[in-house]
Structure 1
């Protein structure tokens, strides 16, 4: 590991920021402190041997004493802030457990108890009267012995229910394990930061950090060194910064075809000097978290030497998890399938146009996310970029498709409108049948086709300006590869951007497909990247006194990782620079939030005192 950098290499010193002496918050903003990120998805229970604050993990009240395990402490402090108070946390936990219970019931009922063959041929209403049969009894479609015979599909269904039930039971137990620590975090907010659950609804995160930093001066939370804003952020984002760096350096790119579901843009790997497709579905992200990030640190948050020197152990672990996931994949694929039906079926039924909505893919979130950018700031930036990104993808109209869509929309909309008028004339007419379906069914189908086809028709008022639309999108995404520059109107750029911002329904289908793709990557492709992963961790890890090992890119060390093409005062080795100036962009983004908060806070304070003075004089 490298020794920590001297103060003269710090970004604040080199850039001579004018506000360095204006506030205690900015005075120590980047002084000897590395950022670590802990995603909400990376929640973990501390081991019995870890250095954990007794107040957080064992339910004791907070005492005025140093906190040994600051990672867990700040992680839960941030989670409490994002959840907006104790009531919201408890309600969210209860709702999550109820959602899991509801999904288990739905899977069991629809896949085991419902006799679909009988249901399809069941005649009700007018059909029953015309055929002379008795009114349909829906209880006939319920199986009394759902597991007889116990076929392979039923075995898969039962397996999925067992897995989902185990997951729900784990969450249920985790609720009680973490409840005491959550109560202690609430006590810390109320008693030591003087922020109650009502105030936490509106207070900003930089303000919370400032309160913690000021508290450090009177009550030593950390005995090794004084806390700073940069320290806190690095502890919260320790693992995330490593994953951001791996994606940025092309470590998680594989030689796969562009037609593979979830395959993203191509990047040039610095290790192999060839272009491969990035891919990072949620299933692979969770696996990397469990196999790498949760096992690479010791109790003092230093990377274990045996982890770096034992690539075969990591390869075997990845292959084992891949084989286990492959065996369980038929059971696991049921979860997203049922979720899609429960979550989006009603929405698409009532608003068919939502089928053409778009969302950021999981890969795009890790491409765009910057070092030390906490989750709620990042989500805010991505939400702002969605409108501009959608506008950019509209810059590529397909005249032929638009012409056909206009015709389909006209015909289907006209038929749906005619059937609606017929319904006003006589409601019973809609019960008439054509080709075995009543007219009400045709009304719904034609209406849905019309709604979807209208979304495909090009907007006649759309101004075609791909360069301008891309400029607005880049202002929020901060992502503009060199191969895109000057080619904003090309099909290549549009296609790659479409993989990052796909249709919602396409993204959901890709996540289901990833359950089968991830085992392939874990068994055959990712073991080939183990040496690159360990080399990245070794080359980009630095020890910070009082913080532990962190990703060196999150330190904003311009002397070692700087790129003068992006405004850095130093030019580091090409192999150590971040791709596309991500470190420099991350630094500016970090300073933007911290400094704007400082200026806004003190401006409000001055305004407040002026108002009080005027009131006294008046």
Structure 2
């Protein structure tokens, strides 16, 4: 039932994403990742319960209580009686096609499959109702913590930034010592508590440990990561039955010992197999729900705005691949949101002359037919009563909208290298083989894995119930030993925080890469190094977001070295100074002030074309990072509600 909950849970309207084009938020569905606090999620969850009831009830009604022969006029209906006008006796009305309630109930009772599905739906709905009740209690606890401990009224909360709330939390720890094993909480401690499991997921994607890249015949390398698959990964690793963590804060001690790694790998393999089989058994029910929910959600949108399916969104894989260690949800959403427009421009710069010509001709022929049909309906509206005329008008409109999306802007200038640099200014990660190859279709295809079509996203979510069991059973099981070794080798215990992923410590000495200005400062082997400079970039990002944080010695040396490099380049000439002064992150490096209070313009990007290997890779970091404001404050409660911590409400 937990697996079924995953698929139902991510079938919700996406939560006002900043990385989506305006006006298309209602097209996306996925599990909210904390962009809004629980005080916002509660009404959303409540209305989801109502939506679930509506979908189940309405679908049951459509399948059992409607006479479609009458509705489609395949069977004549003759109204008799003095109350009816003779001219209207053969006219079909909507009530004529609806069965009487007694007959409808009898039809449902005679169908054993319908009864079984309704019982399953009722059990699931009650389970969700209990969860909503528990969330209400949790929200009340959070509310009391803010009012009594942090001295923030609920009506004032929306006016506080995350940094202000975090400062109050750190001050409160000094006064009341909520975490008894530490005198003071640091900013990094708070982030570790909030992002404990997410940092593990980011690290596993960074080290290519999760089987999300598939080699398929004809299609080649395909990235497949859906909310349902991600939910199952987290269920297996973090909080489900047989997971590696014994509670929310600590890895089970047996996984920290190397002596029984083979036995533990076999146990994990069995757990994955059982969950994979559970997904396989639930697949038909989940798939039916997916299709029904998609039908009810998208039919009107496709009819009204079919071109919205051709828009793009950051893929779930992209969000994990591009996420820094210790980057909160609102920070990630803001950064990717600012990178949406430049990435869209880069992807749209690739056009096919043959496809463009074909699209123009299809649009011409479709538009001609549509123009005639519209003219006829204007002349005589009775034309609409002709069979399939309205359908033809709708289909032709959809075809024209879709084909126009393949016709490029006639004023567009082909400059893929510059556009890719603008993209890099926000996403911060770019494989070396992209440099100088921005005009290649291979590079575009790799960017498309991070920035997918919404239609592809919807299709993947629909296929997820079918594909997920096979990925778990045939691919993830083969990674069992590697997963066991990963958690043993890259888990450290932090006093007052619990077990965390060692990559999240952003330790240059342990996980740095010598190609990223860490030469002479890191002792990491290839296995220990984070890929694509993730350690260095995460360290710089966290330092800018939290200027009062005191990093360890090795990290301080790295930051000082980078600042020195920036100062040197700032003195290199007027053009270089202008470049550096326009980058918000660089401005922070040039001063001791934080960029936390600065909101960068939407299109604020750096204009560097000199991205090279070695020491000059710091330009990846100097590229625009942007602002960091948000009103997400449930994080605070998560940060203090942990092992050996009280809420300080007395």
**Alignment map for 1:297-308 (pairs within 5 Å):** 297-299=245-247, 301-307=249-255
Asked whether the equivalents of residues 416 and 443 of structure 1 are also in contact (C-alpha less than 8 Å), the reply is yes
SS of corresponding position for 1:567 = helix
How far apart, CA to CA, are the structure 1 residues paired with 2:179 and 2:344?
46
SS of corresponding position for 1:419 = helix
How far apart, CA to CA, are the structure 1 residues paired with 2:459 and 2:247?
40
- How far did 1:281 drift? 2.1
How far apart, CA to CA, are the structure 2 residues paired with 1:281 and 1:81?
18
**Alignment map for 1:419-438 (pairs within 5 Å):** 419-431=373-385, 433=386, 436-438=387-389
Greater alpha carbon shift after TM alignment, 300-309 vs 571-580: 300-309
The answer as to 2:364 corresponding to 1:416 is: no
How far apart, CA to CA, are the structure 1 residues paired with 2:388 and 2:134?
55
Asked whether the equivalents of residues 108 and 115 of structure 2 are also in contact (C-alpha less than 8 Å), the reply is no
CA change 1:533–1:359 in 2 (3 A) is: same
CA change 1:240–1:387 in 2 (3 A) is: same
How far apart, CA to CA, are the structure 1 residues paired with 2:73 and 2:456?
32
How far apart, CA to CA, are the structure 1 residues paired with 2:536 and 2:33?
30
Q: Which of residues 528, 532, 551 is equivalent to 2:478?
A: 528
- How far did 1:115 drift? 5.2
The answer as to 2:296 corresponding to 1:342 is: yes
Asked whether the equivalents of residues 73 and 92 of structure 2 are also in contact (C-alpha less than 8 Å), the reply is no
Greater alpha carbon shift after TM alignment, 113-122 vs 356-365: 113-122
CA change 1:411–1:458 in 2 (3 A) is: same
How far apart, CA to CA, are the structure 2 residues paired with 1:232 and 1:175?
26
SS of corresponding position for 2:500 = strand
The answer as to 2:198 corresponding to 1:240 is: yes
> Could you tell me which residue of structure 1 aligns to residue 228 of structure 2?
283
The answer as to 2:58 corresponding to 1:106 is: yes
How far apart, CA to CA, are the structure 2 residues paired with 1:286 and 1:293?
10
How far apart, CA to CA, are the structure 2 residues paired with 1:84 and 1:304?
30
CA distances 1:37-85 after superposition (whole Å, capped 9, x unpaired): xxxx99xxxxxxxxxxxxxxxxxxxxxxxxxxxxxxxxxxxx9995457
CA change 1:198–1:581 in 2 (3 A) is: same
- How far did 1:235 drift? 0.5
TM-score of the pair, normalised by structure 1: 0.74
Greater alpha carbon shift after TM alignment, 173-182 vs 532-541: 173-182
Q: Which of residues 403, 414, 421 is equivalent to 1:464?
A: 414
Greater alpha carbon shift after TM alignment, 536-545 vs 560-569: 560-569
The answer as to 2:126 corresponding to 1:169 is: yes
How far apart, CA to CA, are the structure 2 residues paired with 1:390 and 1:506?
16
Tell me the C-alpha RMSD between the 2 structures: 3.2
How far apart, CA to CA, are the structure 2 residues paired with 1:602 and 1:500?
29
- How far did 1:398 drift? 0.8
> Could you tell me which residue of structure 2 aligns to residue 365 of structure 1?
319
Asked whether the equivalents of residues 282 and 362 of structure 1 are also in contact (C-alpha less than 8 Å), the reply is yes
How far apart, CA to CA, are the structure 1 residues paired with 2:268 and 2:89?
65
- How far did 1:103 drift? 2.2
Greater alpha carbon shift after TM alignment, 195-204 vs 573-582: 195-204
CA change 1:118–1:563 in 2 (3 A) is: farther
- How far did 1:405 drift? 0.8
The answer as to 2:529 corresponding to 1:577 is: yes
How far apart, CA to CA, are the structure 2 residues paired with 1:451 and 1:302?
53
Asked whether the equivalents of residues 353 and 451 of structure 1 are also in contact (C-alpha less than 8 Å), the reply is yes
SS of corresponding position for 2:371 = helix
- How far did 1:568 drift? 2.6
Q: Which of residues 178, 181, 184 is equivalent to 1:224?
A: 181
- How far did 1:300 drift? 7.9
SS of corresponding position for 1:256 = strand
SS of corresponding position for 1:574 = coil
Asked whether the equivalents of residues 192 and 500 of structure 2 are also in contact (C-alpha less than 8 Å), the reply is yes
> Could you tell me which residue of structure 2 aligns to residue 494 of structure 1?
444
Asked whether the equivalents of residues 408 and 450 of structure 1 are also in contact (C-alpha less than 8 Å), the reply is yes
Q: Which of residues 512, 532, 537 is equivalent to 2:462?
A: 512
Asked whether the equivalents of residues 100 and 165 of structure 1 are also in contact (C-alpha less than 8 Å), the reply is no
Asked whether the equivalents of residues 205 and 321 of structure 2 are also in contact (C-alpha less than 8 Å), the reply is yes
How far apart, CA to CA, are the structure 1 residues paired with 2:121 and 2:419?
43
- How far did 1:259 drift? 5.9
- Structure 1: tracts of 5 or more residues without a match: 1-40, 43-78, 126-131, 267-276, 605-618
How far apart, CA to CA, are the structure 2 residues paired with 1:410 and 1:499?
32
How far apart, CA to CA, are the structure 2 residues paired with 1:486 and 1:453?
31
How far apart, CA to CA, are the structure 1 residues paired with 2:343 and 2:192?
30
> Could you tell me which residue of structure 1 aligns to residue 91 of structure 2?
135
Greater alpha carbon shift after TM alignment, 102-111 vs 187-196: 102-111
The answer as to 2:237 corresponding to 1:292 is: yes
Greater alpha carbon shift after TM alignment, 475-484 vs 362-371: 475-484
Q: Which of residues 185, 195, 200 is equivalent to 2:142?
A: 185
How far apart, CA to CA, are the structure 1 residues paired with 2:328 and 2:194?
8
TM-score of the pair, normalised by structure 2: 0.71
The answer as to 2:412 corresponding to 1:454 is: no
Asked whether the equivalents of residues 541 and 549 of structure 1 are also in contact (C-alpha less than 8 Å), the reply is yes
User: Number of residue pairs matched?
Assistant: 502
- How far did 1:250 drift? 0.7
- How far did 1:199 drift? 2.0
- How far did 1:122 drift? 4.1
Greater alpha carbon shift after TM alignment, 560-569 vs 158-167: 158-167
CA distances 1:562-604 after superposition (whole Å, capped 9, x unpaired): 1121223523211100011111111112222223796467999
> Could you tell me which residue of structure 2 aligns to residue 384 of structure 1?
338
CA change 1:385–1:259 in 2 (3 A) is: farther
Asked whether the equivalents of residues 213 and 224 of structure 2 are also in contact (C-alpha less than 8 Å), the reply is no
> Could you tell me which residue of structure 2 aligns to residue 354 of structure 1?
308
CA change 1:535–1:111 in 2 (3 A) is: farther
CA distances 1:243-299 after superposition (whole Å, capped 9, x unpaired): 1111110111367324699x9xx6xxxxxxxxxx65432222111111111132234
CA distances 1:400-446 after superposition (whole Å, capped 9, x unpaired): 11111111112222332333233333322333x3xx423x3322222
> Could you tell me which residue of structure 1 aligns to residue 285 of structure 2?
331
How far apart, CA to CA, are the structure 1 residues paired with 2:214 and 2:357?
35
CA change 1:407–1:575 in 2 (3 A) is: same
> Could you tell me which residue of structure 1 aligns to residue 539 of structure 2?
587
Asked whether the equivalents of residues 81 and 205 of structure 1 are also in contact (C-alpha less than 8 Å), the reply is no
**Alignment map for 1:251-290 (pairs within 5 Å):** 251-253=209-211, 256-258=214-216, 278-290=223-235
Asked whether the equivalents of residues 189 and 196 of structure 1 are also in contact (C-alpha less than 8 Å), the reply is yes
How far apart, CA to CA, are the structure 1 residues paired with 2:336 and 2:236?
28
How far apart, CA to CA, are the structure 2 residues paired with 1:573 and 1:183?
47
- How far did 1:106 drift? 3.1
SS of corresponding position for 1:297 = coil
Asked whether the equivalents of residues 207 and 530 of structure 2 are also in contact (C-alpha less than 8 Å), the reply is yes
Greater alpha carbon shift after TM alignment, 335-344 vs 116-125: 116-125
> Could you tell me which residue of structure 2 aligns to residue 94 of structure 1?
46
